[in-house]
Amino acid sequence: MNRYIPSEADMVSRCRATLNPGAYVILPQPNRVTSTIPDFQGTAVQVLAAPEMGARFVQYELIMDPGGGSIEPLTDDLEHFLYVLEGDVSLSVDGTKHALQVGGYAWLAPGTTYHMLNAREEKSRVLWLRRRHIQNRRWSTPKAFVSHEQQVPALPEDTYLEQHLIPYENPAFDMGVNLLNFEPGIYFGFVESHIMEHGLYMLAGRGVYWLNGDFHEVQANDFIYMAPYCPQFFYATGWEKGRYLVYKDVNRDYTISL
């Protein structure tokens, strides 16, 4: 399997990885190292977020060769979110096959049996987020579902348009994944600081992110982890619309350790 090399990686773009312990991490595509994980073949794995950096979830970018993917159907006690960045992916959910193209996604409940394969003759790329579901006695765990971003309305939120790919208005969900859309020159209406942590993936465009007092230029294919309460502010720059996918934990109370 050939190592995936970004097509537009210059010296400047190769030097933007940033670690600010306890606050944020920026992982541009040229700085990411690929590895492998059990149960997958023909797949280069880039670990974007993990407990080792303080995250309470794991997020990967999977770069699958033709025919690559999970070796067999898998089942575990975690919840999952999958989003196709590039290519075509065949995803089996409890035995039902789905064809996912760019922008297609799925949420899988704990205990779901899943199997993903690259369904074309070129590489496919998939974002994959896994976390432990926090059950609440008031609501049953939602059923797994498959959809596409084009089926989700983009509604005004602050200064941008937002699509809720996971309908976390339903309190049975304990995680949200939103797609934010920015016209060039648009910026947040205020500096945010909140208890939810984020895993953010830039899908298109570029901009400036202010994180814990530091300014960083970001662009398509960058990943950002933001710890709880990290102050954050975004300003879309460039000539094209900016779009990013962002995860957050929602709808649950917080534990107290004595």
Residues 101 and 79: their CA atoms lie apart, in Å, by 21
Label each residue of 103-169 as H, E or C: CEEEEECCCCEEEEEECCCCCEEEEEEEECCCCCCCCCCCCCEEEEHHHCCCEEECCEEEEECCCCC
Query: Which domains does the chain possess?
Result: 13-249 (2.60.120.10)
What is the Cα–Cα distance from 33 to 249, expressed in whole angstroms? Answer: 27
Q: Which residues of 99-111 are buried (b: 16+ CB within 10 A; e: fewer)?
A: ebebbbbbbbbbe
Three-state secondary-structure class, residue 216? strand
pLDDT of residue 3: 53
- Give yes or no for residue 14 having a pLDDT over 90: no
Pick from 4, 42, 33: nearest CA to 118: 42
162-192 tens-digit pLDDT? 999 999 999 999 999 999 999 999 999 999 9
* Cα 211 to chain centroid, rounded: 18
Place of tokens 């989003």: 83
For position 1, what pLDDT does the model report?
A: 47
257 — pLDDT class (breaks 50, 70, 90): confident
For the stretch 23-39, pLDDT in tens is 999 999 989 999 999 99
> What integer pLDDT is reported at residue 119 of this predicted model?
87
Radius of gyration of the chain measured on its C-alpha atoms: 18
Is pLDDT larger for residue 44 or for residue 30? 44
* Confidence at residue 208, expressed as pLDDT on a 0 to 100 scale: 96
Give the separation between CA 74 and CA 178, rounded to whole angstroms. Answer: 26
Asked which of 8-22, 63-77, 83-97, 124-138 is least confident by mean pLDDT, the reply is 8-22
Assign 223 to helix, strand or coil: strand
Between CA 140 and CA 44 the distance in angstroms is 35
Q: What is the pLDDT of residues 131-142, one digit of tens each?
A: 999 999 999 999
CB 245 within 8 A of CB 205: no
Report the pLDDT value the prediction gives residue 5, as an integer from 0 to 100: 53
Query: Which band of pLDDT confidence, cut at 50, 70 and 90, is reported for residue 256?
Result: confident
Question: Which pLDDT score is estimated for 7?
Answer: 54
pLDDT over threshold 80, residue 214? yes
Best CA proximity match to 225, nearest among 208, 246, 207, 194: 246
Q: How far is CA 152 from CA 43, 148, 177, 209, in A?
A: 29, 7, 12, 26
Q: pTM (2 decimals)?
A: 0.94
As a whole number, mean pLDDT of residues 184-204 equals 97
Q: Categorize the per-residue pLDDT at 102 as very low, low, confident or very high, splitting at 50, 70 and 90.
A: very high
